[in-house]
Amino acid sequence: MKNGQDYIESLRLLKTKVYAFGELIDNLVDNPLFRPHINAAAETYELAFNPKARDLMVVASHLTGKEINRFTHIHHSTEDLIKKVKMLRMIAQHTGSCFQRCVGCDALNALYSVTYEMDQDQNTDYHQRFKNYLAYIQENDLMVAGSMTDPKGDRSLRPSQQADADLYVHLVDKNEKGIIIRGAKAHQTGIVNSHELLVMPTVALSAEDAAYAVACALPVDAPGVFHIFGRQTNDERKKGCIDQGNARYGSVGGEALTIFENVFVPWERVFMCGEWQFAGTLVERFASYHRQNYGGCKVGVSDVIIGAAAVIADYNGISKASHVRDKIVEMIHLAETLYSGSIACSVEGYPTPSGAYYVNPLLANVVKQNVTRFIYEICRLSHDIAGGLIATLPSEYDLFNPEIGPYINKYFCGIKGVPTENRFRIARLIENLTGGTSLVESMHGAGSPQAQRIMILRQGNLEYKKRLAKNLAGIKEEI
């Protein structure tokens, strides 16, 4: 297994092509725009060497029996699924931000079971290929990005009906050595600081869309692949320290648009090529695994938000006010409700034909749906408690300016004995944890709310519920 420093150094060996602010980046690792995201992902490596975290982070590979990092593991029990949620909550408590590596873990797990089922049905040999690839990932402890979301163009049209065929990643050509793909994937969490990426379809497909039924693995620096980094709220503050709020780990995952310009993929890294019948299952599996996560990582971040709200209440001298205590109770209640959902969908997990365990998809989608609401409410309550200063504070450069600094210290102070700088620090942390990009991530990360509602209706077994009602009402109908 790699530790945090090994991971960071391993990124220096890649030739990942990344653009940001209109320029090609030449030293990604030391660039302050990316470094917080890299530091957050590094925790997924470093914590594997922390004796207190080991039970959650380290597991035996079902392929080799060797110790591996859980982010490269295929879940083989409900205990595995539960430990994943606990691991995510624990890491988020450390980082207060997204640490990105879960997307690849979910892609690995989804492809593991779906390639098995595809082989059974279609007489293909994808599963063994995929197991070879998985062994490579485990052996080298690599970070994998999950590349699912296509740009989609006109959302009312299917992939094959789009005016521009590239709006969904598709097969361009194939020969005896491999395939060539073109297109792009949007909102790619952590991709610029991953080693590998796993391309998957983003919607259920029909026979006409067979060219879009492509799943494959690529190094993030493969020829023809490049990334355009997304802007984030307050990213120009990255030259400062206090003003960033969470200078070490940032806030969201560091998302990018990844472009595939006629990229060659050898057959041993191709795990679906034309089997459109399995695209929908793959999307659902991946999405449910990823939605399971949100009552882990978002709750870990919420633990930090709740703590920060309580600290600023102390600094403002209002922590004993009954309405403040009640708001803190409400925040804890909401966070633990989210956590309960993630634990529940894990406890109700079950084995797929491949032996890999899957979550209860209905409960996983309910968790993510709740995240789109409860995180906003938790953030709203933290703003309520913190006060207007999280939106109006001057910068750290003013705080430390010899001329005006004394005025800032005087007029931005809270209770006696607490340095104004500390009040600045906690206010900026709340601003970072609850504002702009990070809040939107709770809405649209792991799929937009409507995507969960479609799954909830599909999994909700409405016909059974109707039968229950008719039965009690004494209604007898011919079926």
Catalytic residue set: 98, 102, 189, 255, 290, 294, 297, 441
Q: Does 338 bind ligand SF4 (CB under 6 A)?
A: no
Closest CA to 296 of 443, 105, 84, 446: 84
Closest CA to 187 of 431, 447, 372: 447
Among 34, 99, 130, 339, binds ligand SF4 (CB under 6 A): 99
Interface map 276-305 toward ligand SF4 (x if CB under 6 A): -----------------x---x--------
Q: Which of residues 161-200 bind ligand SF4 (CB under 6 A)?
A: 189
How far apart, in whole angstroms, are the C-alpha atoms of residue 272 and residue 294?
Answer: 28
The bridge status of strand 214-219 relative to strand 270-273 is antiparallel
Residue 224 burial (10 A CB sphere; 0-12, 13-18, 19+): middle
For the chain, how far is it from start to end, CA to CA, in angstroms? 58
How far apart, in whole angstroms, are the C-alpha atoms of residue 215 and residue 277?
Answer: 13
Q: Does 296 bind Fe ion (CB under 5 A)?
A: no
CB of 261 to Fe ion, least distance (A): 26
In degrees and rounded to multiples of 5, residue 258 shows phi and psi of -110, 130
CB of 429 to ligand SF4, least distance (A): 18
CB of 445 to ligand SF4, least distance (A): 5
Q: Which does 300 bind (CB under 5 to 8 A by kind): ligand SF4, Fe ion, none?
A: none
Q: Which does 302 bind (CB under 5 to 8 A by kind): Fe ion, ligand SF4, none?
A: none
Contact 177, 267 (CB under 8 A): yes
- Alpha carbon 286 to chain centroid distance? 12
Q: Does 212 bind ligand SF4 (CB under 6 A)?
A: no
Q: Does 103 bind ligand SF4 (CB under 6 A)?
A: yes
How far apart, in whole angstroms, are the C-alpha atoms of residue 155 and residue 215?
Answer: 21
Q: Does 256 bind ligand SF4 (CB under 6 A)?
A: no
Residue 451's SS3 state is: helix
Interface map 429-458 toward ligand SF4 (x if CB under 6 A): ----------------x-------------
- Alpha carbon 105 to chain centroid distance? 10
Smaller CB distance to ligand SF4: residue 127 or 368?
Answer: 368
Contact 396, 420 (CB under 8 A): no
Residue bearing tokens 């005006």: 404
Q: Which does 435 bind (CB under 5 to 8 A by kind): Fe ion, ligand SF4, none?
A: none
Q: Does 190 bind Fe ion (CB under 5 A)?
A: no
- How many residues of this chain interact with ligand SF4, rule: CB under 6 A? 10
Residue 68 has, within 13 A of its CA and on its CB side, a CA count of 24
Q: Which does 299 bind (CB under 5 to 8 A by kind): Fe ion, ligand SF4, none?
A: none
Among 36, 349, 445, 447, binds Fe ion (CB under 5 A): 445
Q: Enumerate binding residues for ligand SF4 (CB under 6 A).
A: 98-100, 102-103, 189, 253, 293, 297, 445
Q: Enumerate binding residues for Fe ion (CB under 5 A).
A: 445
